[in-house]
Amino acid sequence: MHRPGRPDLTAGEYHILVSDGKTVYLQSKPLFPGKPLSPAPQRPFLLATGGMLDGSMFNRFGWAFVGACKITGSNIVHDDRRIYAAKAAASMHRSSTFQVTSGYLLMEAELPQTSEPFALFEKTAFSYLGYRTTRPKFKWRSKIPVRGQAMLLTSNALLVSGLPDEISPKDPYAALQGRKGGRLLIVDRNTGKIRGEKLLDSPPVWDGLSMASGRIFVAQSNGTLVCFNTQP
């Protein structure tokens, strides 16, 4: 940007870069567009929309799929067929609210095999990813007593970890500030029902779940790493 009598200023935006396998995107904008730009990605791909450095779970920020704009969440994991999303408010509309202790929303949806036109995504991307686009096919929705800060998809379970959704009358902010520890839920992929739970000394860091060699690792916000063995 240049103004008379003032030095040139280079504008920039710090954000998470994603790719559909062909090019790299900053939000909905391709950084290295082809000539001509492909009218749509071959399949829906995950997009970071805005506010990814904001841990407040603001309902108009989060993850979404280009080509499947109605599927959104503060955290999303998926395989080739199904999408699992966690978020606080049920809607991305500006008037949506969330009440503590009411439970966080966890859902499973079908991953579309074809993508909506890229032009449609561009049109709806910043009205939060499209009130006017096709509704996804949800298999189940459930409420969980955990603020899903980290998710992990295994062959037979969905793991969700985060702060407990509770309020202490004498210390209302204790859970939200991490002083009530954390919880790790083991959720049935087919039904959304909780099959098991582990208590944590500290909540996980954002996206702090991983798995290797039959073991589950939780990176906690207190700087420690916890390991759970999944083998009998």
Of 54 and 204, more confident: 204
Average pLDDT over residues 44-68: 66
Strands 157-164 and 146-153: antiparallel
- Asked if residue 129 lies in contact with residue 186, where contact means CB atoms within 8 angstroms, the answer is no
Indicate the average pLDDT of the chain.
Answer: 77
Full-model pTM: 0.79
Quote the pLDDT of residue 93.
62
Which residue from 34, 32, 112 is spatially nearest to 66, judged by alpha carbons?
Answer: 112
User: What percentage of the chain carries pLDDT values higher than 70?
Assistant: 64
Domains and CATH numbers, the chain: 1-144 (no CATH), 146-232 (2.40.10.480)
- Which amino acid is it at 220? Q
Q: Has residue 124 got a pLDDT over 80? A: no
* Cα separation, 58 vs 88, whole angstroms: 8
Identify which of 99-103, 175-179, 190-194 has the greatest average pLDDT. Answer: 190-194
Average pLDDT over residues 120-133: 47
